[in-house]
Amino acid sequence: MQITKAQFQCSSEKISQLPKDGLPEFAFIGRSNVGKSSLVNMLTNHSGLAKVSGTPGKTRLINHFRINDTWFLVDLPGYGYARASRSQREQFARIITDYVMKGEHLHMLFVLVDARLEPQKIDLQFIEMLGEEGVPFGIVFTKTDKLSASQLNRNVTHYKTTLSEQWEEFPPIFLTSSEKKSGREELLAYIGNLVNQ
């Protein structure tokens, strides 16, 4: 899929404010600082579209980006940011769960995980919850530019082994680097197929 048009549509702090257009939504979720906003910019080829920061906790609202006037890419706040205040964490958690559980047009949630890390408990718990709730999801490894091919291969295999303890089938898995712009075609082709169904 080619992206010919990418525009910021709106930021929502609660689901009653979500766009009412009824277009299919594809959202990025994951720990704070994992690279969700960077991936929005990489996919759309639009460096300033979503706000990126080296400091965790940058994205605080549900941000909708309208793509080709046919679907939305959705950038969500990160979870698990230890230095946020408790009330802030609870507010983020509420926004995320509300959107994930009640967002009517969410077609697929991509859980972003840092390719350098061991499977993190918070991600595994989140993935388990998605399974229980029947939310369709995929896994996107980020920051693969920070690893050699063999390290990456080892980490992905390890992740799959961990997932296979809970799951009979693997979700779709994507390897990306916003820095190197890798994994872009695969992810866009996957979304494109779902949009055109």
Tell me which residues touch ligand GTP (CB under 6 A).
32-38, 52-54, 56-59, 77-78, 142-143, 145-146, 177-179
Q: Which of ligand GTP, Mg ion, none does 48 bind, CB closer than 5 to 8 A by kind?
A: none
Least distance to Mg ion, CB of residue 154, Å: 28
Least distance to ligand GTP, CB of residue 40, Å: 8
Q: Which stretch binds Mg ion (CB under 5 A): 50-58, 61-69, 105-113, 122-130?
A: 50-58
Query: How many helices (DSSP H) and strands (DSSP E) are in the chain?
Result: 5, 7
Q: Which of ligand GTP, Mg ion, none does 179 bind, CB closer than 5 to 8 A by kind?
A: ligand GTP
Binding residues for Mg ion, rule CB under 5 A, total 4
Least distance to ligand GTP, CB of residue 139, Å: 15
Q: Rule CB under 5 A: is residue 176 a binding residue for Mg ion?
A: no
**Two tokens, residue 93:** 């958690």
Q: Which stretch binds Mg ion (CB under 5 A): 55-63, 102-110, 159-167, 177-185?
A: 55-63
Q: Closest-CB residue for ligand GTP? A: 78
**Two tokens, residue 84:** 């946020």
What is the DSSP annotation of 41-61?
HHHHT-TTSS---SSS----S
Pick from 116, 113, 22, 103: nearest CA to 62: 103
Q: How far is CA 97 from CA 90, 104, 109, 189, 197, in A?
A: 10, 13, 12, 27, 26
- Residue keyed to tokens 């404010």: 17
